[in-house]
Amino acid sequence: MAYLPLANIRHHKLRSLLCALGIGISICMLVALTGLARGSLFENADRWESVGADLIVFPKGWADKIANRGVGLSEKYAKILRENHGKIVEQAAPLFCWPMKVAGQDHVVAGVAPEQWSLVTGNAALKQGRLFDPDNRFARWMEGKLLTPTADDAVVEITEADLNTPDHNGLELVIDTRLADAAGLKLGDTLRAANHNWTIVGIVPAGVMTRIFMPLRTAQYLFGDGDITKCTMILVKLREGVDVGPAAQTLREALRQDVIPPKAYRVTLQEKFSIMLTYVDMVNIIALVIAFLFVMNTLYTMVLERRREIAILRSCGASGWFILRQVLGEAMILAGAGVVIGIGMSFGVSALIGKLKPLLTPELSFHWMLIAAGAAAVGAIVSSLYPAWRATRINMAEVLIYE
């Protein structure tokens, strides 16, 4: 019966509001922090799973790492995959990854051969502009410069000016829409990063593997010590009807490298970040405990203040269970209001994060809202038990007659 609890809440509006707000803030923390941690993490995993490849070849021992970058694998493996395993491999695309700071945040840049764009991005169409090095002129120029043996084995020097000519412009980028929005970048803009000036030539809808793409040869040359024969990983597209599991095993044995499906990256992410997620969960639990100690204190004060009211109920013959229900009812109403306030606040916080830090992905899940509501209900019950018990111990004679 919410009759008396509601009346009491209405009578003590400010205190009830503060109490519900206290619960609401902890619920908001639970929903928003969890949503932010898991949302940002899994958005990364979602992007990796968006690639059009069935398998990824990593250097031996790299597969369980989450930030693979730099030189690790010879590009020859891509050729071996195509030529020696052509029965099961349809395409093999070397990829060179390296971090680059844009808009105040480190992003993984993927160096991609333009002809492998579909495989790397899962056939994503550009929203604006064009792909870098569309006719492969830059790649051919680089290969000509660096892979053609010279008579005297002289070191080949390539300056920034060489990289950036109208004939073979290698300093071109394709970025995703979220980065474009966050950094205020648009088609044709010049961006200073990694000691070079880059031109934005294309914008791809968000959701592709990384936020920044550049020509494979540029990435290899600039970030791989000038060696354009090495890559970070190779994406493999299997022929139709080939089982991924057995194919991965075959390639693993043949190449003696790590071969994993893209979805394994999600598992690796979860494992690597499990401590962080546990930390977030612990912070949330502590916030909830503090909130419900606050509720307990409020209810306990309420019980002390309402000794006469409880004694009056007793004088009408109210049982201990009836008294307990009044206290419990009030706690549940406050917790319910707290859940509503908290979930409302978490939408606000999420929108605010989206505005202030557009590259973070707070993902508010119904699942966590339910958990938050359940935690609030349990917290309300636990925190009201002692005050309720104290309420049932009030001696009506002492209060009504002698006080």
Pick from 7, 67, 147, 276: which binds another protein (CB under 8 A)?
7
Is residue 313 close enough to count as binding another protein by CB under 8 A? yes
Q: Which stretch binds another protein (CB under 8 A): 197-205, 233-241, 290-298, 315-323?
A: 315-323
Burial zone of 381 (CB within 10 Å; 0-12 exposed, 13-18 middle, 19+ buried): middle
Asked if 281 is part of the footprint of another protein (rule: CB under 8 A), the reply reads: no
Looking at 17, 289, 312, 360, which residue binds another protein (CB under 8 A)?
312
**For residue 133, what are the contacts with CB-CB under 8 A and spacing of at least 6?**
114, 139, 168, 169, 170, 172, 215
| Residue 4 engages another protein in binding (rule: CB under 8 A) | yes
Quick one: which of 127, 137, 109 has its CA closest to 213? 109
**Of 8, 26, 68, 257, which one interacts with another protein (CB under 8 A)?**
8
**How far apart (Å, rounded) are the C-alpha atoms in residues 221 and 18?**
60
Window of 16-24, 71-79, 178-186, 307-315 that interacts with another protein by CB under 8 A = 307-315
Q: Which stretch binds another protein (CB under 8 A): 19-27, 161-169, 225-233, 395-403?
A: 395-403
> Could you tell me which residues come within 8 angstroms of residue 192 by beta carbon, excluding any fewer than 6 positions away?
198
Of 104, 184, 245, 317, the one binding another protein (CB under 8 A) is 317
How many residues interact with another protein (rule CB under 8 A)? 23
Of 117, 314, 332, 345, the one binding another protein by CB under 8 A: 314
What is the distance of C-alpha 257 from the center of its chain? Answer: 28
Contact flag: residue 34 with another protein (CB under 8 A): no
Among 86, 315, 351, 374, binds another protein (CB under 8 A): 315
Secondary structure, 3-state, 290-340 = HHHHHHHHHHHHHHHHCHHHHHHHHHCCCCHHHHHHHHHHHHHHHHHHHHH
Question: Given the rule CB under 8 A, which of 174-182, 253-261, 290-298, 393-401 is the region that contacts another protein?
Answer: 393-401
* Nearer residue to another protein within complex by CB, 14 or 161: 14
Choices 78-86, 195-203, 296-304, 316-324; region in contact with another protein by CB under 8 A: 316-324
Told to check if 1 binds another protein by CB under 8 A, we report: yes
Q: Does the footprint of another protein cover residue 11 (CB under 8 A)? A: yes
Q: First CA to last CA across the chain, in angstroms? A: 29
Determine, following the binding rule CB under 8 A, whether residue 375 of this chain makes contact with another protein: no
Contact predicate 138/131, CB 8 Å:
no
Q: Which residues contact 138 (CB under 8 A, 6 or more apart)?
A: 132, 168, 169, 170, 215, 217, 218
256 near another protein, judged by CB under 8 A = no
In our burial notation (b when 16+ CB lie closer than 10 A, e otherwise), range 251-276 reads: bbeebebbbbbbebbbebbeeebeee
Q: How far apart are CA 402 and CA 384, in angstroms?
A: 28
**What is the closest distance, in whole angstroms, from the C-beta atom of residue 266 to another protein in the complex?**
54
- Count CB-CB contacts under 10 A for residue 323: 22
Q: Which residues bind another protein (CB under 8 A)?
A: 1, 3-4, 7-8, 10-11, 308-309, 311-319, 322, 396-397, 400-401
